[in-house]
Homo-oligomer: A and B are copies of this chain.
Amino acid sequence: MPFVDNIGFLMSRASGQLVRATNAALAEHGLRVRQYSVLSVVCESATGESQRDLAEVLALDPSQVVALVDDLVRAGLVERRPSPADRRTKLVVPTASGRTVRQQAATGAEARLAAALEPLDADERALLRTMLTKLVFVPV
């Protein structure tokens, strides 16, 4: 099989296209996709998330998460607060501005992502999500 039909190569290209489409939508909100991923997860959390949990949920290195949270703190979109359960642990929580920006950014990002996925019909998208989930969440 020619290299260009290699499933790893096709996955990289498709992933790159989705990331570029999402970044294009996020740019007007001053965000890139990894910052947006951190902001999204903390906005969905009832209590805030520790940086360690963010790293695990997003499959990022802890040092990357610290840098992304720093970016979001500087932009006024999140804060680090001591956990009520354990004051040595800091939780990352969204600010009011962070929640607003995230909501606006999500609308644009989801529309651009849907456009990039246009070649697939609704059944295929659902199947693609199921298969990617199987690949990503392999019991170790």
Contacts and interface: CB of A to CB of B under 8 A. Distances in A.
Interface of A: 2-19, 21-22, 33, 37, 40-41, 44, 57-59, 113, 116-120, 124-125, 127-129, 131-136, 138
- For the residues of A in contact with B, the DSSP-based class is helix
B4 A15 contact: no
B9 A11 contact: no
B57 A4 contact: yes
Nearest to A57: B4
A16 B21 CA distance: 18
A15 B12 contact: yes
Given A117-B135, A128-B128, A135-B116, A11 B8 contact: no
